Structure 1
Amino acid sequence: MKAAGELSPERPIRLLIVDDSLVARSVFERIVTQDKRFELCEKLASAAEAIAYLASHRVDVIMLDIEMPGQSGLMALPEILKQGGQARVIILSSNCDEGSAAAVEALAIGASDIMAKPGRSVFSGQFPEMLIKRLLKLGEQARWQNKSEGSIGCGLRRTGRRGSIACLGVGASTGGIHALGQLFEGLGVGIGVPIMLTQHLPPNFMPYFALQLGRMTPMPVKIAEDGDLLKPDHVYIAPGEANLTCRTRRDGSVSVLLDAEREPFASMPAVDPMFTSMAQTFGPASAAVVLTGMGRDGTAGARKIVDAGGWIVAQDAETSVIWGMPGSVARAGLASALLPPVQIGPYMLSQMAKAA
């Protein structure tokens, strides 16, 4: 039996190093070439070289610096992702600490992970071990994600006349920050109900994420706290150390209930507990959106919402960085529509108008 985190022996993970520092390139090369699970395809000194290389070569993981002469790694990231296909990008930079505004911006554009370069000695502490662990995780994502599946064979769920919505849940992971910007653009000033949001991010990213999200929408945005009353057209973000759920109070109002219990192998925060609590609390008046992300988080909870009479919209494969979470929901026959994020808001508003 394959151990957790162990890769199938079919082929090594293909890596591309992009860093203008000869020292950094040499150090990263030494770290990864000592592990037979990796194949170093190329070492490049600029973003322009990386874009040209990726136009004719396939890799699984791109190790990208931010500060480089000419075009910065951050500016070049959209084109690198476009040329890289299914490749995952990990930002390795001394000017992009985990949880910083620059790190959140990189994640918003589509980077899969952020790791700060150590100060003096790259081999000091646990850096090599931590780097290997993250590269393995990203390599697994890239090798097993089959984005070419698209929406073929995914039947949309037929629903009868829908009632009004009382709460909207949104779940997202890799590439989700960029998708959320488009989603909130489509939602405008809101749809008259509270919005519960779970984005897979570590706790130290959340303050910057909430700040950035607040710039994407005129609706008030906050990191959810226990006991917060859910208000219409307010956005409540799951904190990094707890699942965002809700409960009905004695007076009939609905408030936030944070759940720090983590299911085995589940993300923290996770989408499934949020959707499940919405189904229990709002029943047929619950609706949810599943955006780009790896894995299947959200599918079990989406089924609870559908079983309760609510409905689900999933991001389409063409606009997803990773069509894992929305694809899982679609293949399970739970989605009523597969749409680009910017079209989801207008679609939901049209459905609500029909129910009025």
Structure 2
Amino acid sequence: MVVDDSAVVRGLVSRWLAEAPDIEVVSLQRNGRAAVEAIDETNPDIVILDIEMPEMDGMTALPLILRKKPGIPVVVASTLTRRNAEISLKALSLGARDYLPKPEGQHGLVSADDFRQQLLAKIRALGMPRPGLARKTQAAQVSVPTPVRPDVAITLRPASSVRPRVLVIGSSTGGPPALTRLMEELGGKLGGIPVLITQHMPPTFTGILAEHIAKASGRPAAEGRDGEPIVAGRIYVAPGGHHMLVQGGAEPRIRLDDGPPVNFCRPAVDPLFSSAAAVYGPATLALVLTGMGQDGANGARSIATAGGTVLAQDEATSVVWGMPGATARAGVCSAVLPLDQIAGRVSQLLMGLRT
């Protein structure tokens, strides 16, 4: 189901989805009220929900949709204003699975193409299978075949014998609520180590995420600035549009890089992890949380090779087990844990307890 008050957006999105052989649109609605009323009849697998709409906006419709169809993935779409970024993060805390920045203004075809690619990727990652779907019979629903993934035994490796001096975290889809919860649990247990976070997010969103993490953890948190010293006790969030790396020297510093995307992402997790491994070596502790794709797996290998410790979120508690799954299957993790057990394990490692 696609919900947007703009007929142009509804038409464009439905045309894009119609071109995808594995996706079907079952409903196009112009406001939240119409979407809520159509949920039972159309029974969508996933909802793309605009935030700003007349009659009933996305934030009002979200809990009503989730009440009518508990567990349905909802992706909120908004333009990149501070107000909409705040609303989008609020929507994630209320049960939306992901967010989608909308193209606007004079950005033209490049932004529209990026929006299209992200839209298709998020639908495929979050959409549930619809048994018996043989072909498209009408315009409008999103149906995605279940990916076939053979069972792969996960090989764990021992945690580092060196007490961590830095905590690096990577996340994507489902990451903001997971990060907020984790930082709330870890805030008083972090001791004197710095925390560096890369969450796949556009500009504006990352600054607000840092504010939310500061409130949750009770620790100073902000977007990393190029050349800024990495100080114990502080939390640094990679700013949207820039890779955040650790630069070595007598005093480790933040280095921002606006080079090409890595794993189709900027910021990406791999550059953060690999650079942290190069600087902190076996004293690096990394967490790979929920997210689609494989970003972070190569960087986690670098950390393991350097003798550091890698933990991954388990499949059951991940919104999408892409990034943590790829890392776990790479055989570089010391543990694969439910989200509510990660803070406790991190606390043990920070105290020098390996088991």
Deviation at 1:243, TM superposition (A): 1.4
Partner of 2:298: 300
Partner of 1:217: 217
- Residues in 2 aligned to 1:295 and 1:62: alpha-carbon distance in whole angstroms: 21
Partner of 1:171: 170
1:277-316 Cα shifts (integer Å, max 9, x gaps): 1111111110100011110000000001011111111111
Identify which of 279, 282, 285 aligns with 2:283.
285
- Residues in 2 aligned to 1:243 and 1:116: alpha-carbon distance in whole angstroms: 22
What TM-score does the superposition give when structure 2 sets the normalisation length? 0.77
Partner secondary structure for residue 219 of structure 1: coil
Partner of 1:229: 229
Matched to 2:205, the amino acid is: F
Partner of 1:9: none
Distance change (3 Å), C-alpha of 1:153 and 1:207: same
- Residues in 2 aligned to 1:241 and 1:93: alpha-carbon distance in whole angstroms: 17
Q: Does 1:106 align with 2:91?
A: yes
Deviation at 1:132, TM superposition (A): 4.5
Deviation at 1:246, TM superposition (A): 1.3
- Residues in 2 aligned to 1:242 and 1:42: alpha-carbon distance in whole angstroms: 37
Moved more, 137-146 or 164-173: 137-146
Deviation at 1:336, TM superposition (A): 1.5
Q: Does 1:37 align with 2:33?
A: no
> How many pairs were matched up?
323
Identify which of 323, 326, 335 aligns with 1:325.
323
Distance change (3 Å), C-alpha of 1:31 and 1:268: closer
Distance change (3 Å), C-alpha of 1:271 and 1:131: closer
- Residues in 1 aligned to 2:272 and 2:79: alpha-carbon distance in whole angstroms: 36
Q: Which runs of 5+ in 2 are unaligned?
A: 128-143
Q: Does 1:64 align with 2:46?
A: no
Partner of 1:240: 240
1:76-124 Cα shifts (integer Å, max 9, x gaps): 476588532xx5x4434689878531123234544433355979xxxxx
Distance change (3 Å), C-alpha of 1:163 and 1:34: closer
- Residues in 1 aligned to 2:68 and 2:321: alpha-carbon distance in whole angstroms: 19
Partner of 1:75: 63
- Residues in 2 aligned to 1:77 and 1:277: alpha-carbon distance in whole angstroms: 43
Q: Matches of residues 97-246 of structure 1 in structure 2 within 5 Å? A: 100-108=85-93, 109-115=95-101, 132-142=116-126, 153-159=152-158, 162-192=161-191, 193-246=193-246
Moved more, 278-287 or 332-341: 332-341
Contact 2:207 2:222 in 1 (8 A): no
Matched to 1:135, the amino acid is: L
Q: Which runs of 5+ in 1 are unaligned?
A: 1-15, 120-124
Distance change (3 Å), C-alpha of 1:145 and 1:158: farther
Moved more, 165-174 or 202-211: 202-211
What TM-score does the superposition give when structure 1 sets the normalisation length? 0.77
- Residues in 2 aligned to 1:321 and 1:188: alpha-carbon distance in whole angstroms: 23
1:5-52 Cα shifts (integer Å, max 9, x gaps): xxxxxxxxxxx1346x6xx4x655533454531532124544544654
Contact 2:227 2:254 in 1 (8 A): yes
Partner of 1:3: none
Give the alignment's Cα RMSD to 1 decimal.
3.5
Matched to 1:275, the amino acid is: F
Partner secondary structure for residue 100 of structure 1: helix
Identify which of 336, 341, 344 aligns with 2:342.
344
Contact 1:223 1:239 in 2 (8 A): yes
Contact 1:32 1:40 in 2 (8 A): no
Contact 1:96 1:103 in 2 (8 A): no
Moved more, 158-167 or 168-177: 158-167
Partner secondary structure for residue 318 of structure 2: coil
Identify which of 238, 253, 276 aligns with 1:255.
253
